[in-house]
Amino acid sequence: MTARRRTFAEPSRHDVIADAFSRTAQRYDAFADDHPHLTRMRRKVYDHLLRFAGPGSKVLELNAGTGTDAVALARRGLRIHATDIAPGMLDRLRAKVDRLDLGDRITVQECSFEALAEVTGGPYDAIFSNLGGLNCARDLRPIIAALPAVLRPGGTVTWVLMPPVCLWELGLVFTGQFRLAVRRLRPGGTRAHLEGRFFDVHYFQPGRVVAAFGPQYEVLAIEGLSVITPTAESKGLAKRHPRVYAALRWLDDRLAPRWPVRGWGDFYMITVRYRPGLPPLRCGRCGCPFVLLLDAVADPRPVPVPILEVTA
């Protein structure tokens, strides 16, 4: 008699990430309490988003987590359809909606940003994702390709992504933490560990993201988030050294929208407008289409400078 080997299916990447964030949901909310630096970062994101999404706009939020952003934006006059794949996160989100009586402003759906065809309630005026949730994706292009199914023509996309260049992390070289300092620069991303679960995180250069959106999307703004101020994990500096933090904040506010640092930081914010039928830029000499890369430092590939003309 031959013994039959029992095999067990490995959990999918989707299941691993959903389980990791479900396990950390309570800790995620607790970490944001009494965190003035993270509060400032979120406020900057909201101000950025509201420049392009007016009161009453229908917003699809990807990886909404425990609903911190959904609640804040609903209170600012937006209508939010909050999606996430982590049941533990969504349980806390629904509890907040019920407790704060925001059911007429916030709807909730368990859905992945990699399955936008399953999203209900569209089309939306804006699509929003905050604080690097999309950095769990290996490739943004399939997500971008699915956006027209849920985004109205003329609508906007505002994503907050982690770039490869973070000055505060690179500075860890001087403390001897070399592996941590250069983790964002590793080809193929880095291995993240959360609540005993492991998954890959990928870092996206702004120029490559612009190229991924392609000619049907008009770039409206790119702005660094916490370029000079610390990373979101830093909870103590703003509280223990308020004068130092105020000086860093002042400098950060002035440099973050400027080239080249707008593509650096703990995160950066990018907003594009969906304009189907927008003719691509083509080279005036040979007629080949190409995408202008906006941040040569963030994306150091050589950029051609031909004579340009827009052709239909």
What sign for the dihedral angle of Cα 181, 183, 184, 187? positive
For the chain, how long is the longest CA-to-CA vector? 77
User: H helices of the chain, where?
Assistant: 13-23, 25-32, 36-50, 68-75, 87-99, 141-146, 167-170, 178-181, 206-213, 237-240, 242-255
| Residue 287 scores a pLDDT above 70 | no
Residue-wise pLDDT tens digits, 108-133: 999 999 999 999 999 999 999 999 99
The pTM for the full model equals 0.87
For the record, the structure tokens of 211 come out as: 């190229």
Burial class (CB in 10 A: 0-12, 13-18, 19+), 33: exposed
Q: Where are the domains of the chain?
A: 13-278
Residue-wise pLDDT tens digits, 76-98: 999 999 999 999 999 999 999 99
Give dist(CA 23, CA 137) in Å, integer: 20
Residue-wise pLDDT tens digits, 180-236: 999 999 988 999 989 889 989 999 999 999 999 999 999 999 999 999 999 999 999
Q: Are 152 and 142 in contact (CB under 8 A)?
A: no
Task: List, in order, residues 6 or more apart from 233 with CB less than 8 Å away.
Answer: none
- In whole angstroms, how far apart are CA 9 and each of 15, 19, 85? 12, 16, 20
More confident residue, 236 or 306: 236
CATH of the domain spanning 13-278, picked from 2.60.40.10, 3.30.56.10, 3.40.50.1010, 3.40.50.150: 3.40.50.150
Task: List, in order, residues 6 or more apart from 16 with CB less than 8 Å away.
Answer: 197, 198, 199
Mean pLDDT (whole number) for 301-306: 31
Which of 109, 39, 110, 37 has its CA nearest to residue 68? 39
pLDDT on residue 1: 44
For the record, the structure tokens of 197 come out as: 């679960």
Residue-wise pLDDT tens digits, 48-78: 999 999 999 999 999 999 999 999 999 999 9
pLDDT on residue 286: 53
| Residue 281 scores a pLDDT above 60 | no
Which of 189, 184, 215 has its CA nearest to residue 298? 184
Query: What's the whole-number average pLDDT of the chain?
Result: 88
What are the counts of helices (DSSP H) followed by strands (DSSP E) for the chain? 11, 11
Which of 150, 141, 154, 149 has its CA nearest to residue 202? 141
